[in-house]
């Protein structure tokens, strides 16, 4: 992760602008005096930089929840802050290289809001989850120009490599999103996906609840797939293979087939490695056999018009509010100035929680940097939060 070690951390006068980078405000952690967050805007993206003070150093890096892609945005913002504040850099892993030519537009990189507002369902869609080196995803997109491909990945360097190759190869049917696949499918319309690829996912043998494949994921996959569409798991893990067999057998009616050590048109670098080690490769393919009803999620993330009283800061507390639909928890609390405060929230589904920030400015509330994802669990958490804020 890009970061700077500073001799001293010099605050700016907010808001201020340094070149193309804007710094809006600084928020001080109420319970951890050594931490603060700097609201940053660059190339249309809003995110936080994190300042953390230790006995040995002053650290400045990106904040993980709001961290944008590609990494160039964070690197440039870090260097801009150090320069404008006059904070001396004593160690760094941030280079001053110009933005990569093939990453200047970022057009294929989409936010979840793009898909929630206008999912591209005018033709067949294929989705690859955890595309890694993107060799398979790029090959498929090039081979099927009449199909819309969506690649999901949370590893930032992999995202940047995929974006470069999309530009180099001139692919206009491939979009990338940095997002949790377990949440993403909720925003896909029913009966539009031809194939879902899950190739060599992390096995999570010690934390099986973190696996992509689950009963809920299978249910959502079956909804978004067209009749005859497939969910394809490819893995070198025998544990994951057997887990998938059990999961795919759970529905009252299901169809799936199993293959072992089959070659495919293009292999990932991981698969090449496993083959050199003579490991077995398993394919488990689930086939959708029915049309599904459309999924409808009602509601929005607007707050009540009544002004929020100052004591709401204390009232919301740090309690975890548990409900049948999920939970709401205030993880950290921040002070911006005498009229503004902020909390970091964990909310939504127990299995797929979302993290977000809430800013209260002169009695009015808003989420930062964007609203939570429009899921049913998040909407229920928002309703509960609105009730707590307004007493």
pLDDT in tens, 116-140: 878 998 899 999 999 988 999 999 9
Residue-level pLDDT at 104? 52
Q: Which two tokens stand for residue 140?
A: 């498929």
pLDDT digits (tens), the chain, 391 positions: 788 999 989 989 999 999 999 999 999 999 888 899 999 999 989 999 999 998 778 999 999 999 887 788 899 999 999 999 999 989 888 876 655 555 555 689 998 888 887 899 889 999 999 998 899 999 999 999 999 999 999 888 899 899 999 999 999 999 999 888 878 898 899 999 999 999 999 888 888 888 999 998 999 999 999 999 999 999 999 999 999 999 999 888 889 999 999 888 887 777 788 778 888 999 999 999 888 888 767 788 999 988 998 788 787 878 899 999 999 999 999 999 999 999 999 999 887 788 999 999 999 999 999 898 888 899 999 999 999 998 7
Using an 8 Å Cβ cutoff, are 138 and 49 in contact?
A: no
In sign, the C-alpha dihedral spanning 263, 269, 272, 278 is negative
* Residues in a beta bridge with 195: 126, 230
Residue-level pLDDT at 352? 74
pLDDT in tens, 175-200: 999 888 878 898 899 999 999 999 99
β-pairing, 148-152 vs 125-129, is parallel
Interacting residues of 34 by C-beta distance below 8 A, sequence separation 6+: 52, 53, 54
Q: Which residues of 121-154 are buried (b: 16+ CB within 10 A; e: fewer)?
A: eeebbbbbbbbbebbbbbebbbeeeebbbbbbbe
In this prediction the pTM is 0.70
Residue-level pLDDT at 37? 97
């Amino acid at each position: 992760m890009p970061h700077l070690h500073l001799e001293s951390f010099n605050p700016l006068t907010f808001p201020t602008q340094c070149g193309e980078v804007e710094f809006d405000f600084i928020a001080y952690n109420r319970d951890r005096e050594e931490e603060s967050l700097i609201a940053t805007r660059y190339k249309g993206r809003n995110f936080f930089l994190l300042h953390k003070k230790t006995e040995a150093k002053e650290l400045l890096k990106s904040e993980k929840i709001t961290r944008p892609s590609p990494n160039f945005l964070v690197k440039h913002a870090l260097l801009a802050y150090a320069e404008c504040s006059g904070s001396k850099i004593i160690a760094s892993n941030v280079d001053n290289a110009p933005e990569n030519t093939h990453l200047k537009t970022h057009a294929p990189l989409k936010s979840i809001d793009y898909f929630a507002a206008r999912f591209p369902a005018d033709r067949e869609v294929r989705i690859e989850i955890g595309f890694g080196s993107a060799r398979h995803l790029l090959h498929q997109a090039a081979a099927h120009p009449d199909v819309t491909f969506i690649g999901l990945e949370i590893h930032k360097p992999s995202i940047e490599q995929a974006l470069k190759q999309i530009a180099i190869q001139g692919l206009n049917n491939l979009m990338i999103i940095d997002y949790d696949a377990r949440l993403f499918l909720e925003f896909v319309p029913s009966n539009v996906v031809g194939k879902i690829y899950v190739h060599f996912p992390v096995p999570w043998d010690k934390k099986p609840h973190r696996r992509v494949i689950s009963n809920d994921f299978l249910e959502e996959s079956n909804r978004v797939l067209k009749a005859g569409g497939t969910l394809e798991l490819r893995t070198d893990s025998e544990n994951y293979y057997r887990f998938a067999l059990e999961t795919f057998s759970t529905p009252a009616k299901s169809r799936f087939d199993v293959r072992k050590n089959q070659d495919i048109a293009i292999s990932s670098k991981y698969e090449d490695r496993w083959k050199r080690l003579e490991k077995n490769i398993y394919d488990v393919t689930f086939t959708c056999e029915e049309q599904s009803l459309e999924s409808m999620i009602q509601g929005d993330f607007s707050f009540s018009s009544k002004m929020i009283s100052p004591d709401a800061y204390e009232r919301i507390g740090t309690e975890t509010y548990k409900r049948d639909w999920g939970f709401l928890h205030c993880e950290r609390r921040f002070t911006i100035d005498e009229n503004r405060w902020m909390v970091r929230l964990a909310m939504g589904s127990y299995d797929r929680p979302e993290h977000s920030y809430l800013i209260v400015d002169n009695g009015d509330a808003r989420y930062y940097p964007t609203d939570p994802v429009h899921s049913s669990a998040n909407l229920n958490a928002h309703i509960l939060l609105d009730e707590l804020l307004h007493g």
